[in-house]
Every structure is written in C-alpha cells, then in structure tokens.
Chains A and B, each alone.
Chain A
Amino acid sequence: MYVAIKLNKEKCIGCKMCIFVCPEANVIAFCPKSKKVDVNEARCKGCGLCVVACPKDALTLDNN
C-alpha cells in the first residue's frame, strides 16, 4: 500500500503551513503566481503532519 497526500486546490489559501511542517524536502512547492501549493506525490511518505497543520482541510491522506 502506498500512502500519499492529496491536495484540494480549491480549498488551498497558500498559507504555507504545510511546507513548514513537512519533514521531506521538495514535496510541497509554493507557486508564487497562483498563490497556492503544489504536491509532488512521488516524494511523499504519507506521515500526515501537513494534514494536521492545514487550517482549511485542503489536504487529505489517500491510500492508493
């Protein structure tokens, strides 16, 4: 089973809280143009720290 986070772009407000709690490097990138984050699911280990930190519930843990 591979676990990774899934982002709901409509809910994201670009506060970057998820970036500051992620222990993996380069998983969540911030796009300055759209003021939202992008997720690289291949690098995610699925710890769920960002899911807890997100104030808008835009991130969910997904079992693929």
Chain B
Amino acid sequence: MTKNILKMSPAFADIIPAEYRELVDNGPYGRDVGVAELGTFKELLEEHPLCAGCGLALALRIFLASLPAPEDTIVVGSTGCSSLVFPQAAVQNIHSLFGNQNSVASGLKRALKLRFPDKDKDVIVVAGDGATADIGLDMVMHSWFRRENITTIMLDNEAYANTGGQESGMSQQGTVLYMAPKGKNFPKISMPELAREAGCVYVAVGTPAQPRKLEKMIKRAILLARHIGPTYVQIMTPCPTNYKFKNNETVNRLKGLEKDGVFKPREYITAEAQEALNKLEEVSK
C-alpha cells in the first residue's frame, strides 16, 4: 500500500471523517518520522478501547510510530488486549487464532517473498504474553527453529488481562491476581534466553518508559528480520486494572521495577547480525 491508496476522491471529501482526512494530510506514510517527532504528525492509532493508563497502549503507540515502513508492514495479531488496538490502527492486520500467530506470519512472509521478490515487506507478530509464551509457544518456537524472516513482539503484561486476570507463564512467582488467589507457583519464563537459544539473531527486552531506546530496538528487530533471520522483542507493559495500582503510576512502576532489579532491559545479538547491523546503520547515516 502506498499513500495513493489512502487518498480520497475529492467528491467525497466533505463526508469523509475528520480522522481519516487528518491521516491523509498529515500521516506518517512515506515520511521519515519516528518517536522523536511524536505529536507533530497524525499517528496511525485512533481512539482505542484499552483502559486508561494502560502500559500496553503506550507500547503499541511507540511501536506504531517506530515502524520503518508502515505502508509495507503487515501486523499479525492474536487474541488478547494487544489485538483490541488494531481495528483502530491504520496498518494492515490479520487476527489469527489464539496461539497461531507465528504460523500465519510464516506462511504470509513466504507468500509475500514470492509475490514481491524485489520489495521488502515486513511481517510483524504482535501478541500478548499468553499467546506467545503459553498457548502459542510451540508455534513461536518452531518459527524460530525454521529461521523464518519475521519479527515477534511480545507485549508482556504478566497476566491474562482480557479475561479477568488469570496468571500466565510470564507472571512473577507469588503474584496474586483476581483469578489466581493463591499466588503463582512457579517462576517467570525467561523467554529472551529461550529465543536466543532457539535461533533468534536479535533479542531485546525493552520498556515504554524509555521510548527512544524502545524505538531503536524495534527498528533493529524489523531491519534484521528482513535480511538475516527471526528476531524477538519483549516489551514490559504493566496492567493497572489487574495489578491494582493507580492509572497514573504505570511509568513510575516500570522505573521502580527496573530499579529493584525485578525487570532487566537487555539485548542479545549474534555476530552475523551485528555485522549486518553495522552496515545498515552506516548506510542510514
């Protein structure tokens, strides 16, 4: 999709919604705008149904602003809070069965490679912790074993927030939630290390409290997935509704968790990917 597809017929200009008109006039398609320019252009996201103060919404907003080519991007989502945003976002989106997101993305990427051999089409999986680490773990792992050129982004809110607050594999040990009154029995799955061992060429753990760092991680993951192999980004996104803290404490909570050592932002990259990344970053300079 290019910006031309978005353009409206002048005869219908007066009945087109204001949000759409804004997107055509001042959207990010074909322009070099990123997180640093947020607020000066119309974002791809519009009013979404997520809770006030949701860390996941903040992460998705930064994710949509840091896409290197939003017109050539297809986001594959899965059931959960993360999927509620995409009906309101101006990117192509496929909602897959719960847990199937990486299989759908694998097929899609292969088909796009055949259909557009001389064009880079980014296929990005955006799913929650339940779809990535619990229900879809086998599909996710096998897409990494097969070295598919897709980016997997996990929005880790440490619970099944959409269905009333059950514990997920990514919850911390001992967490008490609405539907886990006795506390969780086993520790948090270390997904980034699993991803590194499973063959991801670039693995990063980020937080929306540091938007520019997160943008860099997402851009690197997408660019490396185009050329080298699978990449994985895990974003910590606290949930005020299920973890029972105030709406205005989301960012402070992230900073607190990092300070206490509960949550550690980190990056793993293979030698081959580092070499390619150095070349890519030299070209962009």
Q: Does B40 contact A (CB under 8 A)?
A: yes
Bin chain B's interface residue count.
20 to 34
**Which A-chain residue is minimally distant from B61 (CB atoms)?**
A25
Q: Is the CB of A26 within 8 A of B46?
A: yes
Q: Does B45 contact A (CB under 8 A)?
A: yes
**Which B-chain residue is minimally distant from A28 (CB atoms)?**
B39
Q: Is the CB of B43 within 8 A of A23?
A: no
Most chain B CB atoms below 10 A, which of A21, A43, A45, A47 = A47
User: Which residues 10-39 in A have Cβ within 8 Å of B in the complex?
Assistant: 16, 19-26, 28-30, 32, 37
Most chain A CB atoms below 10 A, which of B61, B211, B246, B248 = B248
User: Which residues 35-62 in B have Cβ within 8 Å of A in the complex?
Assistant: 35, 38-40, 42-48, 50, 52-55, 57-58, 61
Q: Does B251 contact A (CB under 8 A)?
A: yes
Residue-wise, chain B 54-95 has the 8 Å CB interface mask toward A (1 for contact) of 110110010010000000000000000000000000000000
Q: Does B267 contact A (CB under 8 A)?
A: no
Q: Which residues from chain A contact B231 at a C-beta distance below 8 Å?
A: none
Q: Which residues from chain A contact B22 at a C-beta distance below 8 Å?
A: 26
Q: Is the CB of B39 within 8 A of A30?
A: yes
Q: Which residues from chain A contact B249 at a C-beta distance below 8 Å?
A: 52
Give Cα A32–Cα B50 distance, bound, in whole angstroms. 30
Q: Is the CB of A16 within 8 A of B46?
A: no
Give Cα A51–Cα B38 distance, bound, in whole angstroms. 18
Q: Is the CB of A49 within 8 A of B248?
A: yes
Q: Which residues from chain B contact A32 at a C-beta distance below 8 Å?
A: 40
Give Cα A2–Cα B137 distance, bound, in whole angstroms. 41
Give Cα A48–Cα B54 distance, bound, in whole angstroms. 11
**Which B-chain residue is minimally distant from A45 (CB atoms)?**
B52
Give Cα A48–Cα B252 distance, bound, in whole angstroms. 12
Most chain A CB atoms below 10 A, which of B35, B45, B47 = B47
| Distance between A17 CB and nearest chain B CB, rounded to angstroms | 10
Q: List 25 A-B contacts (CB under 8 A).
A: A16-B38, A19-B38, A19-B39, A22-B61, A23-B52, A23-B54, A23-B58, A23-B250, A24-B47, A25-B43, A25-B46, A25-B47, A25-B61, A26-B43, A26-B45, A30-B39, A37-B39, A43-B47, A47-B53, A48-B247, A49-B58, A49-B251, A52-B248, A52-B249, A52-B251
6 smallest beta-carbon distances between A and B, as pairs? A48-B248, A47-B53, A30-B39, A23-B57, A25-B45, A47-B52
Add 11 more A-B contacts to A23-B54, A46-B247, A52-B249 (CB < 8 A).
Answer: A19-B39, A24-B48, A25-B61, A26-B45, A29-B40, A32-B40, A37-B39, A48-B247, A49-B53, A51-B248, A53-B251
